[in-house]
Amino acid sequence: MRIVFMGTPEFAVSSLEALYGSGQDVALVVTQPDRPKGRGYVLTPSPVKVCALAHGTEVITPDRMRDESVIEKLKSANADMFIVTAFGKILPQAVLDIPPMGCVNVHASLLPKLRGAAPINRAIMNGDDVGGVTLMYMDAGMDTGDIISEHAIPIPGEWDAGDYHDALMAVGKDALKGFMELCASGKSIPRRKQDPEKATYAPKITGEDTLLDFNADSVSVCNRIRGLAPAPCAYFTLGGKRIKVRKAEVSDGSGVPGEIISCDRGGIEIACGEGSVIIKALCPEGRSPTDAESYLRGHRLEPGTNVNV
């Protein structure tokens, strides 16, 4: 089949590779414009753009999907279907109407659960123990289209968002390969309506999400740390500086929420509204990531000190 692919981050690369690997004719790739990155703010192409160019595929990076020039470019690709994975832009109806076989989205949750921009982070932050990937036909709503297939996997309690992200990349790649095989077979494509009564949402991660609230119970605090690692990372403040937390464990210590209970080779233990968390790995402001034991060798912390003050 002739395909236009739309995607941007690393997560979407596995879908694009699935299309190349299954012999599809990828006529055009659409991704977000190059963005400044790193300390030098060097304009850097998206991972999807890098992958597409390596395969010799034409790439466009529109600012607005509603522009007539963009719509005409998509029409001229003469694609049978558009495949979309983590593109990061809303598709107007004029775009959705172009391909005769429709627009199919690879979404990183089991819909209708966790519709929206950050399903991977939110699943871990919520403490979900099962997740997965959904293939769906796109419509004008936000992840509201008819479901083609769902592919569930367990989420182990020790995983952070990075672990879950990598697992879902593999799941999504296999799911899309299977879908393309089904399309080639000539068999009818399954589709079923979502139940809006069961819908939940996964809004974009903001700065407010990253500040740890130790008034919450220890499990909730630890899930937030897991759900925001390895980036952007949850943080607390100490001495007016941010300390990002990369790894922590739930414990049963007690104290005033936000109070450092102990700091030794086992890590930095901080009291929560119920229980405590032991910080195992962190990243001080302006420094490189390190483990808690190494951090404590160069920083004197006293039990009884309160963070976020």
DSSP states of 177-194: HHHHHHHHHTPPPP-B--
The mean per-residue pLDDT over the stretch 260-268 comes to 93
- Does the pLDDT of residue 214 top 90, yes or no? yes
Comparing CA positions, the residue from 267, 270, 268 lying closest to residue 217 is 270
**DSSP-derived secondary structure for 218-270:** HHHHHHHHHHTTTTT-EEEEETTEEEEEEEEEEE---SSTTBEEEEETTEEEE
Structure tokens at 6: 């739309």
Burial of 37 from C-beta contacts in 10 A (0-12 / 13-18 / 19+): exposed
Distance of CA 232 to the CA centre of its chain: 11
Q: What CATH fold (topology level) applies to the domain 207-298?
A: Methionyl-tRNA Fmet Formyltransferase; Chain A, domain 2 (3.10.25)
Q: Shortest CA distance to 218 belongs to which of 246, 253, 242?
A: 253
Give the 3-state secondary structure of residue 4. Answer: strand
DSSP summary character for residue 175: H
Residue 274, class by beta-carbon neighbours within 10 Å (0-12 exposed, 13-18 middle, 19+ buried)?
A: middle
Spans of all domains in the chain: 2-198, 207-298
The predicted model scores a pTM of 0.95
- Single-letter residue type at 121: N
| pLDDT for position 84 | 98
* pLDDT band, residue 139 (cuts 50/70/90): very high
CATH class held by domain 2-198? alpha beta
Mean pLDDT over 7-31 rounds to 98
How many angstroms separate the most distant Cα atoms in the chain? 68
pLDDT tens digit sequence for 147-196? 999 999 999 999 999 999 999 999 999 999 999 999 999 899 999 999 99
**pLDDT at position 38, please?**
78
Q: What is the mean pLDDT of residues 90-106?
A: 97
